[in-house]
Amino acid sequence: MNHSANVAGVGVGVDASGEEISAVLLAARDEYLPIAVTADQARAIKLALAGEPFERPLTHDLFIQMITDFGGALDGVRIDDIADGTFYAKIDTERYDDGESRRHVFDARPSDAIALAVRADCQIEISDDVLDYAGEPPSRFEAASEEQDIIDPSEFDEYDKSDIDTDVDTESDPDGIWKLETTEN
């Protein structure tokens, strides 16, 4: 079974070794699902949530425009699997050819799927299996935000691209501390 989700926050988590990890926090089934992302991805999602335009189209904006211009629509995204600590997502689209609907499903990284969903204002769903494996109680994040200063994701502008680790381990770390800026929905 899939559960409707919304982006509850974007920010920085601290793993058990003290390393900072950019993350997006999804809320579903009365739980939170933290997904590690790069600082660029966190910034792109934050900009989309805020509705802030960028002077030139970002990759996700371009992709949405291309889907639309080619007669398609983004119906929703699903985070439906996790294996070896890596989350897997699907992007559900449809296209009309001669008045007939044709559905297409694309494999995607969850960070890209979430960024697209936020821009297209479409449904985000998370499977029971993923939530059972990696979902966290809200109290874990509330306690962390009371103990730590919330890090403003706008600070992601101040990074050196050579410091970005694109091979992020997305496995849930029960010993880590998450500091997130929540969104109002």
Query: What residue spans define the domains of the chain?
Result: 2-182
Nearest-angstrom CA–CA distance, 49 and 58? 14
**Environment class of residue 32 by beta-carbon count within 10 Å: exposed (0-12), middle (13-18) or buried (19+)?**
buried
* pLDDT band, residue 40 (cuts 50/70/90): confident
Q: Is pLDDT above 70 for 179?
A: no
Return the CATH fold of 2-182: Bifunctional nuclease domain (3.10.690)
Please write the tens of the pLDDT for every residue from 46-78.
888 888 777 888 888 889 999 999 889 999 999
Please write the tens of the pLDDT for every residue from 23-35.
999 999 999 999 9
CA 80 to chain centre: 13
Q: Is pLDDT above 50 for 155?
A: no
DSSP string for 52-107: ---SS--HHHHHHHHHHHTTEEEEEEEEEEEETTEEEEEEEEEEEETTEEEEEEEE
pTM attached to this predicted model: 0.75
Please write the tens of the pLDDT for every residue from 117-138.
999 999 999 999 999 999 999 8
128-155 mean pLDDT: 69
**Residue that has been written with the tokens 């990890």 in this structure:** 21
Cβ 71 vs Cβ 95: under 8 Å: yes
So what's the pLDDT on residue 146?
52
So what's the pLDDT on residue 183?
52
Cβ 64 vs Cβ 49: under 8 Å: no
